[in-house]
Amino acid sequence: MLRILEPSSPGYAVEHEHPLDPMSSAEISRTSAVLREHFGLGDDIRFETIELVEPGKEVVRGFVPGTPIERLARFNVYRRARTGVWTGKVDINLGKVVAEEFLPDARPMISPEEFLLIEAAAKADPRFKAAIERRGIERYDLVCVDPWTAGNFGVPGEEGRRIAHTFVWMRMFELDNYYAHPVEGINVVVDVDTMEVLRVDDHFEASGDYVPVPEMPLNYDSAILTEYREPSSPLDVIQPNGPSFIVEGNKISWENWDLRVSFNGREGLVLHSLGYTFGGKRRPIMYRASIAEMVVPYGTPEGSHYRKNVFDSGEYGFGKLANSLSLGCDCLGHIHYFDVVLPDLFGNPRAIENCICLHEEDAGLAWKHFDFRSERTEVRRLRRLVISSITTVGNYEYASYWYLYQNGTIEYEMKASGIINTAACKPGTPQKFGTEVAPGVVGHIHQHVFSARLDMEVDGPGNTVMECDTHAMPIGPDNPMGNAFYVEERPLKTELEAQRCVDFGKMRYWKIVNPNVTNWVGKPTGYKLETGSAVQFYNDPEGPSGRRAGFAYKHLWVTPFHPDERFPAGDFVNLSKGGEGLPTWTKDDRPVENTDLVIWHSFGLHHLPRPEDHPVQPCVLCGFKLMPTGFFDQNPIIDLPPGKNHASKSTSGEDAESCCHHA
What is the pLDDT at residue 660? 56
For the cut 50, the answer to whether the pLDDT of residue 1 exceeds it is no
Of 295, 337, 325, 311, give the one whose Cα is nearest residue 391.
325
Q: Where are the domains of the chain?
A: 3-103, 112-202, 246-418+443-457+529-628
Report residue 12's pLDDT band, with 50, 70 and 90 as the boundaries: very low
Average pLDDT over residues 284-294: 98
At 522-578, the pLDDT tens digits run 999 999 999 999 999 999 999 999 999 999 999 999 999 999 999 999 999 999 999
312 catalytic residue (yes or no) = yes
Of 276, 261, 275, give the one whose Cα is nearest residue 357.
261
For the cut 90, the answer to whether the pLDDT of residue 7 exceeds it is no
At 342-362, the pLDDT tens digits run 999 999 999 999 999 999 999
Question: Rounded to whole angstroms, what are the CA distances from 385 to 80, 283, 508?
Answer: 44, 18, 29
- In contact, 189 and 165? CB cutoff 8 Å: yes
What is the pLDDT at residue 16? 83
Average pLDDT over residues 79-104: 96
Evaluate whether 3-103 and 112-202 have a shared fold: yes
3-class SS letters over 282-326: EEEEEEEEEEEEEEEEECCCCCCHHHCEECHHHHHCCHHHECCCC
Quote the CA–CA distance of 402 and 414 in Å, as a whole number.
9
For the cut 80, the answer to whether the pLDDT of residue 9 exceeds it is no
140 catalytic residue (yes or no) = no
What is the pLDDT at residue 656? 52
Average pLDDT over residues 86-115: 97
Q: Active site residue: 316, 396, 405, 527, which one?
A: 396
Quote the CA–CA distance of 289 and 387 in Å, as a whole number.
12
Q: Give the range among 9-18, 284-293, 630-639 with minimum mean pLDDT.
A: 9-18
* Percentage of the chain modeled with pLDDT above 90: 94
In which region does residue 138 sit, left (phi positive, over 0), alpha (psi from -120 to 50) or beta (all else)?
Answer: alpha
Q: Per the CATH hierarchy, to which homologous superfamily does domain 246-418+443-457+529-628 belong? A: Copper amine oxidase, catalytic domain (2.70.98.20)
For the cut 90, the answer to whether the pLDDT of residue 646 exceeds it is no
Q: Active site residue: 176, 191, 193, 312, which one?
A: 312
What is the pLDDT at residue 659? 54
Peptide bond into 642 cis (omega under 30): no
CATH topology of domain 112-202: Nuclear Transport Factor 2; Chain: A, (3.10.450)
3-class SS letters over 427-448: CCCCCCCEEEEECCEEEECEEE
Report residue 6's pLDDT band, with 50, 70 and 90 as the boundaries: very low
What is the pLDDT at residue 422? 98
Contacts of 202 (CB under 8 A, 6+ apart): 131, 134, 185, 186
What is the pLDDT at residue 14? 45
Report residue 649's pLDDT band, with 50, 70 and 90 as the boundaries: confident
At 137-166, the pLDDT tens digits run 999 999 999 999 999 999 999 999 999 999
Contacts of 285 (CB under 8 A, 6+ apart): 274, 275, 276, 408, 410, 456, 457, 458, 527, 626, 631
Into which CATH architecture does domain 3-103 fall? Roll (3.10)
